Structure 1
């Protein structure tokens, strides 16, 4: 008996009106819904990433971002054998924390990330693989490419920070970063728009600081990675508060 291709059956829903921004987040939400309601059943092995990317009309990096989020929350598990849908009972539920983050003041969120992300960058410097670093470099280059497009710039900035968390290979750190991702993005977009009208150098400084972070992680220099990340978050704090 031929196995059902559940992904192909749901491909039209997954790819419909994904938009131009937050594609990976939108895809994550749709995969989550299909897994929760059983349309992508427990034990189902996802097709090869190239096949899925082609079916959905998206890049592999976008698909991997969605997969990373799904894996962090326990919806899927990834191994050398493939990508599999988990049993519902195994799915991690951190909704209460997510709700707390969504209702937090932006300054509180920035202070929280100041405490969290320095350590995250430090662990990333100790544990990042070649693939992790390649993905960080990709997002960094995209930030430079879209320096004149605030929405796109913030998207890739956020992906960069999420990838730093992924490079720690610590699921709790990844979950915490993911839970704060949307609230952080929305607040920073508003802050960036306001700041750019007063100080066009904000984006240039942000790019420069990200460059320091990535070089420290590449070099395995966990102390510099820690310092550079805290310098970056401090700069964002000042930008948000004082423009």
Structure 2
């Protein structure tokens, strides 16, 4: 008879396997949409057809479809099925490593939670030295925008300075543990932004300014909200592109 611990371990392994499978289906469907195989406004094939095409069970397929809905790429209409709402820029497939998009999205979720609370505490505990570090990083980002440079290092320095300003080393440690994933996401979003009019990066800079202003003013709730809004906007900007008019 299997122990409860063995059953739990087997259940965790199955959940991980299911998640990995749904990620692959999600990225395959996303790729089909990005490359125009399923056009904006088109109805997706039925779950029965897709599950056979992808060679996965319907529960696995539904997980992938749920993620595409959360990303605002598809929309479900009751009684009619799922339709393509937007076609992200094809460059997403050039800048995101193969098989990484689902993980990048999870990283944004992690960052919104962790960095939102770090910004909240930073507004309560920041020192002048912390403010100086954030301000210096923001100025460097301004220079990068002006010169059409990528600015990933300055972006990372800005966000890390806020975690440090929380005066709780675990925020910085948690962020450092995810550093490779975070930098992958930053490289993707900033490369995509460089392909857009400069107003796109200027908008990102305005979001950064709102965060630092709230921290300097000591408005903890506003700092948290500004940080979470900025990171969620970054996640959504990954999927900018052609949008259905219907």
Offset, 1:191: 2.7
Cα distance in 2 for partners of 1:171, 1:224 equals 22
Q: Is residue 185 of structure 1 aligned with residue 183 of structure 2?
A: yes
Match of 2:229 in 1: 231
TM-score normalised per structure 2? 0.54
Cα distance in 2 for partners of 1:187, 1:161 equals 13
Offset, 1:203: 0.9
Match of 2:12 in 1: none
Across the aligned residues of Structure 1 and Structure 2, the Cα RMSD in angstroms comes to 1.9
Match of 2:16 in 1: none
Matches within 5 A, 1:48-67: none
Cα distance in 2 for partners of 1:149, 1:159 equals 18
Question: 2:123 touches 2:223 (CA, 8 Å); kept in 1?
Answer: yes
Q: Is residue 218 of structure 1 aligned with residue 216 of structure 2?
A: yes
Match of 2:114 in 1: 116
Question: 1:195 touches 1:240 (CA, 8 Å); kept in 2?
Answer: no
Q: Which 5+ residue runs of structure 1 have no aligned equivalent?
A: 1-101
Cα distance in 2 for partners of 1:163, 1:125 equals 12
Q: Which 5+ residue runs of structure 2 have no aligned equivalent?
A: 1-99, 242-246
Matches within 5 A, 1:20-99: none
Match of 2:153 in 1: 155
2:136 alignment partner, SS class: helix
Cα distance in 2 for partners of 1:209, 1:194 equals 17
Question: 2:115 touches 2:171 (CA, 8 Å); kept in 1?
Answer: no
Question: 1:118 touches 1:225 (CA, 8 Å); kept in 2?
Answer: yes
Cα distance in 2 for partners of 1:190, 1:150 equals 14
Q: Is residue 195 of structure 1 aligned with residue 181 of structure 2?
A: no
Match of 2:34 in 1: none
Cα distance in 1 for partners of 2:196, 2:133 equals 32
Cα distance in 1 for partners of 2:105, 2:209 equals 24
Question: 1:118 touches 1:227 (CA, 8 Å); kept in 2?
Answer: yes
Question: 1:158 touches 1:181 (CA, 8 Å); kept in 2?
Answer: no
Q: Is residue 107 of structure 1 aligned with residue 105 of structure 2?
A: yes
Match of 2:56 in 1: none
Cα distance in 2 for partners of 1:112, 1:241 equals 18
Q: Is residue 142 of structure 1 aligned with residue 140 of structure 2?
A: yes
Whose radius of gyration is greater, 1 or 2? 2
Q: Which of the residues 130, 136, 141 maps onto 2:128?
A: 130
Cα distance in 1 for partners of 2:110, 2:197 equals 25
